[in-house]
Structure 1
Amino acid sequence: MKSYTCRVCGNRLFFENSVCVSCETPLGYSRAERDIVPLDADDRTYTDAGGVVWHVCTNLGLSGCTWLTTDAGGLCFSCGLTRTRPNDADLEGITNYAPAERAKRHLIAELDELGIPILDRTDDPRGVAFDLLSSVAEPVTIGHADGIVTIDLAEAEDAHREKVRAMLDEPYRTMLGHFRHEIGHYYESFLITDDDTRARARELFGDESEDYQAAIDRHYAEGAPADWQQHFISQYATMHPWEDFAETWAHYLHISDSIQTAEEFGLLRPAPTASFRERVTKTWMPLSTALNMMNRSMGYDDLYPFVLSTPVLDKLDFVAGLAADAAAGSVKDSSAGDVEPESGA
């Protein structure tokens, strides 16, 4: 995460701040400026340098959203991507809805920082939308299908999530991790659009045309191969090439965000331009080892309990290349031409 500063008093701010605790200025997050901006104390609006008036998202009270929109009384870009949410009578679902939306805002802010395009499905059929569903009344399966990401809001509850994590023998399970993984499925179909890229993806991850349900059944019946750490980032990644790609994409975002945060807060000096692979081997590996030791010093599990083998580094490098191409606007689509990154909210 970035380190933000109050434009009024210079106090340090954090991503979800709705008011400066030092000078009490009301605040909002401007996606267009990628910054936290001060709001007018009377009408809670922000006027940018171009004279455009911005309003706080109508979900401020419901989910704590501080993002700005040009539509008075409307939803911000992030909240607008949510296609389905719990109804107001579902108190448990609504309680879990807020941390889910917070994780989604984190995801979108990181994608913006990386320059990766995020298309709104209401404006573009190739876009993404989110169903944030409550499993109070019926089971919810987390997943992605044709641009729709489904999240089980029960995963916002620590006890539930930890129970599932232990049951599945996972070293890591968070709401943000779910969003990063599922959006990876979306970007695989969005960014791999030509034969050469598809061929390279199959070399690294395997043939994605393999029967998915059969792969699921095999994985839960037999588990991961004994030597899985030599080739995969996680046991779940061994299930099917789609899952391997999504897990790799999630770790690309984990690592990118963590390095930026360490630089923003003075734990690392900003490094000169280097390949993502070099950033991983020369910066992330030593940093994550140190952070793991810090966690152990406090009696916690490792912060980053993963082994990055050479095949995994190859996969991460491939994903980082796809992301860089997307940021450069060089993603091809046979029906729509080049896909250009969005620049504003």
Structure 2
Amino acid sequence: MRTFSCQCGNTLHFANTRCVSCGLMLGFLPDEKKLSAFTRHDAGSWRAAANGRLYRQCKNYSIHDVCNWMIPVEEQGELCVSCQLTRTIPNLDQPENRRLWFRMEQAKRRLLYTLFKLELPVVSRQKDPVQGLGFEFLEDQTEDEYGNELTVKNFVTTGHSAGIITLNLKEAEPSSRMKMREEMNEQYRTLLGHFRHESGHYYWDKLVRGSQWLTEFRQLFGDERLDYTYALQHYYEQGPAPDWHKVWVSAYASMHPWEDWAETWAHYLHMVDTLETASDFDFSVSSHQVINPLQQLPQSDESKNEAHFNQLFNDWCRLTAVLNALNRSMGLDDAYPFVISTIATDKLRFVHKVIGAAAVG
């Protein structure tokens, strides 16, 4: 994620809604993938300092203050391209839910920023009612037990089905997410990580299923036709494969080829977003300048694509070593608690190739 500049020269960050220096309202321009300052044009529109064009605020910005994306005035609808993808929002009669909803939308916008920068297809449910992308933020249903305790009646499972990504609202609550992480014996669990992982399932359907990539996918990840329900049950009863770190990017990736792909996809998005951030801050490690991988997209040319990936991966290895060392100095857990094996690297390289072909196609 890069930073941006206000017309007054102040540095702006992706989530900002107002410049702390000059006080101007800020909004993100999805069509240009940048944050801009705005001045009021009339009762219903704002003029962007970045390009002089007129926009209006997303309804979830102007009314609910959970968004900061703008809509070009010539476009129809009250919601921005990000909020249009949300099919179900939390019950706002519960005061805490507005804050959790904001966190959900913010993580979704970060995901979309990277997808847009990679020039990946993002097809809404409105355009494709059967396989289009949509998000549902749902809560566990509870009921009173003996009048003084709440028990979970229906538990919401975070997952993906035919383009619809469902997330349990509790994942936006750090204490609940940490509790789940410990119960699941996971090294890493973040809200943004969930969005990236589940988007991997969406893009497997769009880019790999039934495509020319399927044979290579099966050689690297395994046969996705294996019984998923059985694999899931076996994973939770027996745990991950003992040697998972030699083959998979995470323990959960060893559960089934689909999960292996989704975990690898999520790690690839972690890599390119974090490297863009480091590059934006002119970061270098032992005289090696970190290159922004989103400035030059993956290529269809095999040799150029290979060189691009090698640069990206080498920068990532150097950068994460520093990030982990810094966290340890602060008494924190490693920022990136993973060691990428040669086999897992080949899987990341495959994701890079698929994205390169999708971007140029």
Q: Could you tell me the TM-score, scaled by structure 1's length?
A: 0.90
Partner of 2:328: 296
Equivalence for 1:66? 68
Would you say 1:161 and 2:177 are equivalent positions?
yes
Aligned equivalents of 2:329 and 2:52: distance in 1? 51
CA distance in 2 between partners of 1:23 and 1:66 (Å): 18
What SS does the corresponding residue of 1:170 show, helix, strand or coil? coil
Conserved? CA contact 1:62–1:98, under 8 Å: no
Amino acid at match of 2:83: C
- Aligned equivalents of 1:180, 1:50: Cα separation in 2: 31
Residue 29 of structure 1: aligned partner: 28
Larger CA deviation: 189-198 vs 240-249 = 189-198
Residue 327 (structure 1) aligned with residue 359 (structure 2): yes
**Amino acid of the residue matched to residue 296 of structure 1?**
R
**TM-aligned CA deviation for residue 87 of structure 1:** 2.6
CA distance in 1, matches of 2:184, 2:290: 37
Aligned residue among 121, 130, 133 for 1:128: 133
Structure 2 distance, partners of 1:171, 1:276, is 29
Q: Does 1:256 align with 2:276?
A: no
**Deviation of residue 172 (structure 1)?**
0.7
Question: Residues 4-43 of structure 1 correspond to what in structure 2 (within 5 A)?
Answer: 4-6=4-6, 8-41=7-40, 43=43
CA offset at residue 194 of structure 1? Answer: 4.3
Counterpart for residue 103 of structure 1: 107
> What residue number does 2:151 align with?
none
Residues 1:193 and 1:239: Cα distance change in structure 2 (over 3 Å): closer
% identical equivalent positions: 42
Classify 1:47/1:284 alpha carbon distance in 2 versus 1 (closer, same or farther; 3 Å): closer
Q: Deviations over 1:158-205 (max 9, x none)?
A: 110000001111111011000000000000010014453101101111
Whether 2:242 is the aligned partner of 1:226: answer: yes
Q: Which residue does the alignment assign to 1:57?
A: 58
Contact map agreement 1:37 1:46 (CA 8 A) in 2: no
Q: Distance in 1 between matches of 2:243 and 2:341?
A: 12
User: 1:244 pairs with 251, 260, 275, which one?
Assistant: 260
Residue 82 of structure 2 corresponds to residue 81 of structure 1: no
Whichever residue aligns with residue 62 of structure 1, its letter is: H
Report how far residue 141 of structure 1 moved. 0.3
| Other-structure match for 1:188 | 204
Determine the structure 2 residue equivalent to 1:46. 47
Query: Measured at CA, do residues 51 and 2 of structure 1 come closer, stay the same or move farther in structure 2, by a change above 3 Å?
Result: closer
Structure 2: how far apart are the matches of 1:205 and 1:118? 24
SS in 2 for 1:80: helix
Q: Which structure is higher in strand share?
A: 2
- Residue range with higher mean Cα deviation, 147-156 or 272-281: 272-281
2 CA distance for matches of 1:105 and 1:36?
Answer: 13
Instruction: Give the secondary structure class of the aligned counterpart of 1:55.
Output: strand
1:92 maps to 2:96: yes
CA deviations on 1:116-152 (whole Å, 9 max, x unpaired) are 1111111124420001112254411000000100011
1:285 is the counterpart of 2:285: no
| Conservation of the 8 A alpha-carbon contact between 1:55 and 1:72 | no
Tell me if the contact between 2:39 and 2:49 (Cα under 8 Å) persists in the aligned partners: no
Letter in 2 for 1:67: W
Paired residues, what number? 328
1:20 aligned partner, one-letter code: C
Determine if contact 1:276/1:320 at 8 Å carries over to the other structure: no
Structure 1: gaps spanning 5 or more residues: 330-345
Q: Which runs of 5+ in 2 are unaligned?
A: 143-153, 297-303
Do the aligned residues in 2 keep the contact of 1:58 with 1:73 (CA within 8 Å)?
no
**SS of the counterpart of 1:38?**
strand
| Secondary structure, aligned partner of 1:196 | coil
Cα drift, residue 62 of structure 1: 2.1
**Is contact 2:248–2:254 with CA below 8 Å preserved after alignment?**
yes
Maintained 8 Å contact 2:36/2:48: no
Aligned letter for 1:104?
A: K
Inter-partner Cα distance in structure 1 for 2:87 and 2:13: 27
Report if aligned partners of 2:36, 2:49 keep a CA contact under 8 Å in 1: no
Q: 2:50 & 2:105 partners in 1: Cα distance?
A: 29
Within 1, Cα distance between the matches of 2:237 and 2:50? 59
For the aligned residue pairs, the C-alpha RMSD in angstroms reads 2.0
In the alignment, the residues of structure 1 paired with residue 355 and residue 334 of structure 2 have an alpha-carbon distance, to the nearest angstrom, of 28
Q: Residues 193 and 161 from structure 1, CA distance in 2 versus in 1: closer, same or farther, beyond 3 angstroms?
A: closer
Is contact 1:92-1:136 (8 Å) kept? Answer: no
CA contact (8 A) 1:57 1:76 kept: yes
Distance 1:108 1:5 in 2: 21
**Aligned counterpart, 1:310:** 342
Structure 1 residue 47 displacement after superposition: 5.4
Could you say what secondary structure the match of 2:140 adopts? coil
Distance in 2, Cα, partners of 1:73 & 1:216: 41
Q: Which amino acid aligns with 1:82?
A: T
User: Are the aligned partners of 1:67 and 1:76 in contact in 2 as well (CA < 8 Å)?
Assistant: yes
**Match in the other structure for 1:3:** 3
Q: Decide which moves more: 181-190 or 84-93.
A: 84-93
Q: Is the 8 A contact 1:205 1:245 kept in 2?
A: yes
